[in-house]
């Protein structure tokens, strides 16, 4: 996994295979972490510095010392925004978050209460915030539920996946499965019509449903005292442990697939037909990777997942009694309150952590086991993959290569010496350029961890435990201050949302 600026690791789907083939120990190819910064925050920083420079020049030109004294607060503010850091970010990066938080606070958007007496429009998911516009579409052929985002122009379908315990496999089998998973990612990358792909793994309390089903199939229901007592004991048994549930979601880019959608009849029916093609391809790729995908989830299955995410206390009850909570119109939360540091919904408090830095040294395929297998912590781990078009990836690589060359020339004129990190960054860019030229795809991988607990104190303890587990996995996590509600919809719901 490659670290990159803004915490978005660019995972080249072939590199997992190469890292396995080149050594006796399977692992992920390391990547130097770029510190030069890019994207919106860098452009805003340049604007701030440029504004300060213009103010300084005009102050010196118009009045010298007197005017400069009046404009000194502006110059100091610009310098502080551009170069002072708080919590791992420059102040200029905090500025959009603070402005959005102030706007939402003044508009009363930090508190959500469901209007029980006011019905929602048919087909709209009962979710708060930015996810309130999501609509459901039930595919007539497969019965699968598809979630339409009218603002992002995407159509999402999801499937549950079962798999054996990866950490218990021998190294050769782990190596083979890593290679197979890289082919799944390559399939998503080559499609050209998939906007994003989300892999979500969550811990759930064991409801005892498996034990009840075993007793129903194999028990002797003869009405005896022993059989009656044993049946009552199983019915009253509470959660005895934890289990892990995994889902894979794919989002169709309706703009990119516009021609195929029109050829399939247009509208939502045409989009559903195109998405079915991608679903068939992904299903075949998952099976080839020795994963066991279920049928694509129906509306009731998605309703249980959404309800369990916002109200974890009823998760075991919903799983055990299959007829409860399977209506998408009522699957959302009843109450949500967002604070600067966490989110509260129904019966739990939640905190979303962003994996801002991936390992920069060679690690084993199971390097995340300390995070995924942490006991006593209810959490959801999400990897959001965004395929990059070949032309966009090439343009981005050319831009970064030009920046490296120009920066190196500037340092040479100033007499500065190249350090190891700058040299490693440049060689990483050259390697990515060569790989892209060879026909390999590029994915942007962003990781999130959602931690849930009953009380704020338990939440902070769980967050501390997950942060320590991430350190053991050679990862760095950051809390998404001021963005918890939007981040929760991305990290805890399998809807291929973005932050």
CA–CA distances in Å: residue 40 to residues 101, 313, 356, 370, 447? 18, 40, 17, 33, 20
For 223-237, 251-265, 284-298, 452-466, which range has the lowest pLDDT when averaged over its residues?
223-237
pTM across the whole model: 0.81
Structure tokens at 365: 């395929």
CA 139, CA 298: separation in Å to the nearest integer? 9
**pLDDT tens for residues 33-82?**
444 443 445 566 677 777 777 877 777 777 666 777 777 888 788 777 77
Q: What is the pLDDT of residue 42?
A: 58
What mean pLDDT value characterizes the chain? 82
Could you read off the pLDDT of 440-466 as tens digits, one per residue?
778 888 999 999 999 999 999 999 999
Q: Which residues of 188-220 are buried (b: 16+ CB within 10 A; e: fewer)?
A: bbebebbbbbbbbbbbbbbbbeeebeebeeeee
């Amino acid at each position: 996994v490659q670290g990159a600026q803004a915490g978005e690791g660019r995972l080249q789907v072939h590199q997992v295979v190469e890292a396995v083939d080149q050594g006796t120990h399977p692992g992920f190819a390391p990547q130097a972490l770029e510190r030069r910064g890019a994207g919106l925050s860098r452009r805003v920083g340049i604007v701030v510095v440029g504004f300060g420079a213009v103010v300084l020049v005009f102050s010196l030109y118009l009045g010298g010392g007197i005017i400069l004294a009046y404009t000194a607060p502006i110059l100091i503010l610009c310098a502080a925004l551009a170069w002072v850091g708080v919590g791992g970010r420059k102040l200029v990066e905090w500025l959009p978050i603070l402005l959005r938080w102030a706007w939402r606070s003044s508009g009363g958007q930090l508190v959500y209460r469901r209007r029980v007496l006011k019905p929602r429009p048919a087909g709209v998911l009962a979710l708060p915030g930015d996810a309130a516009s999501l609509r459901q579409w039930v595919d007539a052929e497969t019965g699968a539920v598809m979630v339409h985002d009218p603002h992002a122009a995407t159509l999402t379908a999801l499937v549950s996946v079962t798999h054996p315990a990866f950490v218990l496999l021998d190294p050769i089998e782990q190596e083979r499965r890593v290679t197979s998973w890289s082919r799944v990612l390559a399939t998503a990358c080559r499609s050209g019509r998939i906007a994003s792909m989300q892999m979500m793994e969550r811990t759930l309390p064991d409801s005892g449903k498996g034990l009840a089903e075993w007793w129903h199939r194999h028990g002797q229901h003869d009405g005896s005292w022993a059989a009656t007592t044993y049946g009552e004991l199983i019915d009253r048994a509470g959660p005895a442990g934890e289990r892990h549930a995994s889902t894979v979601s794919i989002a169709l880019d309706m703009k990119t697939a516009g021609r195929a959608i029109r050829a399939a009849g247009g509208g939502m029916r045409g989009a559903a037909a195109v998405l079915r093609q991608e679903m068939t391809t992904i299903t075949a790729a998952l099976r080839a990777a020795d994963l066991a995908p279920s049928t694509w989830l129906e509306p009731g299955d998605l309703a249980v997942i959404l309800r369990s995410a916002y109200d974890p206390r009823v998760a075991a009850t919903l799983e055990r009694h299959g007829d409860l909570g399977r209506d998408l119109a009522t699957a959302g939360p009843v109450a949500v309150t967002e604070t600067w540091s966490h989110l509260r919904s129904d019966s739990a408090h939640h905190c979303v952590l962003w994996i801002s830095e991936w390992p920069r040294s060679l690690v084993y395929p199971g390097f995340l086991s300390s995070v995924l297998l942490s006991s006593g912590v209810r959490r959801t781990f999400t990897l959001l993959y965004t395929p990059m078009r070949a032309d966009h990836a090439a343009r981005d690589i050319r831009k970064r290569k030009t920046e490296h060359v120009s920066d190196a020339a500037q340092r040479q004129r100033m007499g500065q010496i190249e350090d190891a990190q700058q040299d490693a960054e440049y060689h990483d860019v050259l390697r990515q350029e060569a790989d892209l030229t060879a026909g390999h795809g590029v994915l942007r991988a962003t990781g999130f961890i959602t931690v849930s607990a009953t009380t704020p104190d338990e939440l902070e303890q769980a967050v501390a435990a997950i942060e320590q587990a991430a350190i053991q996995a050679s990862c760095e996590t950051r809390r998404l201050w001021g963005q918890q509600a939007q981040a929760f919809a991305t990290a805890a719901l399998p809807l291929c949302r973005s932050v």
